[in-house]
């Protein structure tokens, strides 16, 4: 009995210590779980992503002609409506032809005179040839007659050229449209004096269907894409790359264009490579000089590492980073280099690999080393049901309390 009482005295404190220790461990584990920040997690994976270059640029006409006078004179008529569509060969202006008609008549008279002289000198040369064979004239006389004939023949050719020039100048008094397109306002009215050496055009014609959209691409992006294509990491589209056009307000243009070419030089003022797209414009919606955005579909990236955009934090200095969860369920800051955007994802060039767990919620509370706990979908659903049940239970208890209190008040 004595030994039994001694053992009981020693065993009771030991059991109490063990119980306190176990209780402390449970409380520590509960405390750790309670202090872990619940977060949503995105698992990094790969997918096929189209390579789309979003560039800005302006519209320019595929053909543009400045209409200028080729002869001097007074404009008699303007034969087009400003802002209308004109066709190639359509007469636009009539310049006073009086002086040029007189020049044509003068040239014709000179030609006839030269032809008459040619006829006379040819007869003389032929006659002297016969007389020379009969030794009736000297060789010198025959040579002089032959030379006169050749000079008369040259004079006829010169007169013909002068007549042709006069006719050309007369034709230039009618100013025709060199191309088909939309014509602008007239810079000169009837009665204005114009000349062939003036710097100002009479008007301008621009072809509006199709149109060019000249886009600017940085040298770095241009070289990186060419290198990726050469290495085979980017699959290019067959044929010419399609281009989607967007207005400045974000509205998509109904017709899709095609990439024509990339310039072989770099603009020294902007550091950009000019990329030109050919865009249909049957409704004449686009006008030269408009500011547009173009999305060039340059190819496909087959195994792109992607992360959802909501997980990425971007600083003003250009630095981008995410928080990943390590093996100890701690948040760790990781700097990433981002590529193109696609359907709510960023393509990650460096910094992440498939399988990494990236935090996508409560980012404003996260710091490196913060304990976190991934919110499972099942947990989120259970939490929601528990919250609803607790709300219903609280409402029921309140109602019961109110029911119990009512008879007391009535009593």
Instruction: Give the model confidence (pLDDT) of 83-99 as tens digits.
Output: 899 999 999 999 999 99
Q: Which residues pair with 359 in a beta bridge?
A: 41
Q: State whether residue 399 is helix, strand or coil.
A: helix
pLDDT confidence band for 207 (50 / 70 / 90): very high
pLDDT for the residue numbered 80: 92
- Give me the percent of the chain exceeding a pLDDT of 90: 42
| Mean pLDDT across 364-393 | 63
pTM higher than the cut 0.75: no
Instruction: Give the model confidence (pLDDT) of 258-313 as tens digits.
Output: 888 776 677 777 778 888 889 999 988 899 999 999 888 877 888 889 999 999 99
**Spatial CB neighbours of 381, under 8 Å, sequence gap ≥ 6:** none
- The lowest-confidence range among 180-189, 199-208, 221-230 is 221-230
Task: Report which of 73, 162, 60 is spatially closest to residue 112, judged by C-alpha positions.
Answer: 162
Instruction: Report d(CA 376, CA 41) in Å as an integer.
Output: 9
Pseudo-torsion of CA 126, 130, 132, 133, nearest 10°?
A: 140
Instruction: Give the model confidence (pLDDT) of 299-324 as tens digits.
Output: 788 888 999 999 999 888 789 999 99
Q: What are the distances in angstroms from CA 328 to CA 36, 72, 371, 372, 375? A: 12, 90, 8, 9, 16
Cα torsion 81, 86, 90, 91: sign = positive
pLDDT confidence band for 183 (50 / 70 / 90): very high
Cβ proximity of 174 and 91 under 8 Å:
yes
Instruction: Report d(CA 93, CA 166) in Å as an integer.
Output: 19
Residue 230 token pair: 């050469």
The H or E element that residue 406 is part of is: helix 377-410
| Mean pLDDT across 64-90 | 93
> In 10 A of CB 97, how many CB atoms?
19
Task: Report which of 69, 118, 119, 120 is spatially closest to residue 95, judged by C-alpha positions.
Answer: 69
Asked whether the predicted pLDDT for residue 40 surpasses 60, the reply is yes
Buried b (16+ CB within 10 A) or exposed e, 337-346: ebbbebeebb
pLDDT confidence band for 245 (50 / 70 / 90): very high
């Amino acid at each position: 009995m004595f030994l039994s009482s001694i053992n009981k005295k020693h065993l009771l404190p030991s059991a109490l210590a063990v119980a306190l220790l176990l209780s402390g461990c449970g409380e520590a584990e509960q405390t750790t779980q309670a202090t872990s920040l619940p977060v949503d997690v995105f698992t990094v994976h790969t997918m096929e992503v189209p390579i789309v270059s979003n560039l800005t640029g302006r519209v320019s006409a595929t053909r543009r002609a400045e209409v200028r006078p080729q002869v001097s004179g007074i404009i008699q008529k303007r034969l087009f409506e400003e802002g209308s569509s004109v066709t190639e060969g359509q007469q636009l202006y009539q310049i006073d032809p009086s002086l040029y008609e007189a020049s044509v008549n003068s040239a014709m008279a000179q030609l006839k005179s030269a032809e008459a002289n040619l006829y006379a000198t040819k007869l003389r040369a032929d006659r002297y040839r016969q007389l020379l064979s009969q030794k009736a004239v000297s060789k010198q006389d025959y040579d002089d007659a032959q030379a006169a004939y050749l000079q008369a023949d040259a004079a006829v050719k010169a007169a013909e050229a002068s007549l042709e020039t006069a006719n050309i100048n007369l034709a230039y008094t009618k100013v025709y449209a060199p191309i088909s397109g939309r014509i602008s306002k007239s810079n000169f009215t009837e009665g204005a004096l114009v000349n062939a050496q003036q710097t100002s055009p009479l008007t301008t014609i621009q072809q509006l269907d199709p149109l060019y959209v000249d886009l600017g691409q940085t040298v770095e992006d241009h070289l990186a894409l060419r290198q990726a294509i050469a290495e085979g990491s980017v699959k290019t589209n067959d044929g010419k790359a399609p281009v989607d056009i967007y207005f400045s307000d974000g509205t998509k243009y109904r017709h899709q264009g095609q990439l024509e070419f990339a310039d072989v030089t770099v603009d020294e003022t902007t550091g950009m490579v000019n990329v030109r797209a050919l865009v249909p414009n049957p409704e004449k919606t686009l006008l030269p000089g408009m500011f547009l955005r173009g999305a060039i579909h340059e190819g496909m990236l087959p195994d792109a590492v992607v992360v959802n955009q909501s997980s990425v934090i971007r600083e003003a200095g250009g630095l981008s980073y995410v928080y990943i969860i390590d093996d100890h369920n701690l948040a760790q800051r990781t700097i990433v280099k981002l590529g193109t955007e696609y359907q709510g994802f960023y393509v990650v060039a460096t910094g992440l690999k498939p399988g990494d767990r990236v935090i996508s919620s409560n980012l404003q509370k996260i710091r490196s080393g913060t304990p976190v706990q991934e919110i499972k979908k099942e947990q989120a659903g259970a939490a929601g049901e528990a919250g609803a049940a607790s709300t219903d239970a609280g409402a029921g208890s309140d109602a019961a309390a109110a029911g119990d209190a009512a008879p007391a008040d009535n009593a």
